[in-house]
Amino acid sequence: MKPLTTPRGRTFIVLGDSSTITMDRLPIISDRLDSDPRLASVSVVAHSNPGQEFLRAAAPAGCTVVIATDVFDLTGPITTEAGTEELQSWCRTASDRGLWHDWWLTNARDIAKADEFIPAAAIDLAESSDPASSRYHATQTHGIDPNAVSITIDATWLGPHQTGAQVLTTAAIEALALNPRVDRIRLIGIDELPAYARHLAELDALEINQQPEEATDIIWYPNQIDQRVDISHARSLGRRVITTYLDLIAYDIPRYHASQEA
């Protein structure tokens, strides 16, 4: 296939399912390429949200990828017969040269049914599930239902002894479970409730799950993060992360002090 040309003279080729680049879509893709010479590729990506929008990505994805051939002086060439591994390698080179990759998100039925030519890169998938990322707000179809909020609570601090921290957490769990806008509460960090908190087991919304398989709307750490708490998996446990610090002077947490003697 000979390279196609945009209105401003940029040349490009199509990889993957070329049937998705219809006559009505060709000007949309061409105009996007013309919008900035740093664009090396535009991918056609199925998305359930209505409307159409462009999104900056780390690498191409979807059923069709449009490659700007006028950047070959920087990246080296690639042909329409290139497979996914060759395309991924070429795109990494383009990124290393400071070039960009955009996704064109559309809910068109034919694109939704088209076979995937190249899967999304790991970094794009990670950002799609990170509420701090602009990609999350552009790609996520799951929104928080304000009348059915799901919450994961780190209950690591609910040990055998009850002090102020445990009173706060226990009372907060009960109050949240009784809130009609909260659909369910999942506790992690414990295998069973201590004696002073066993009344929580009677709450219909409560469950204890050490190995959750899906993220809830919120993950809450009701006590400050110390050696007892593993926050490294927070993003996979909840779409929003909330932490609470009760104080900064706890006498039995060494990292609060400059030395063991202090």
pLDDT tens, 123-180?
A: 888 877 766 666 666 666 566 788 999 999 999 999 999 988 899 999 999 999 999 9
Read off the tokens for 251: 């006498």
Q: Are 80 and 13 in contact (CB under 8 A)?
A: yes
Cα angle: 51, vertex 131, 209; to 5 degrees: 120
Place 22 in a pLDDT band, splitting at 50, 70 and 90: very high
What is the arithmetic mean of pLDDT over 56-64? Answer: 94
Instruction: Give the per-residue pLDDT at 175.
Output: 96
Q: Enumerate the β-bridge partners of residue 228.
A: none
Instruction: Give the per-residue pLDDT at 224.
Output: 81
Q: Is the pLDDT of residue 15 over 80?
A: yes
Q: Are 156 and 229 in contact (CB under 8 A)?
A: yes
Euclidean distance between CA atoms 188 and 215, whole angstroms: 12
Q: Is the pLDDT of residue 206 over 60?
A: yes
- Closest by alpha carbon to 156, among 213, 197, 204? 197
pTM summary value: 0.58
- Tell me which of 5-9, 230-234, 256-260 is least confident: 256-260
Q: Could you tell me the domains of the chain?
A: 4-136 (no CATH), 149-243 (3.40.50)
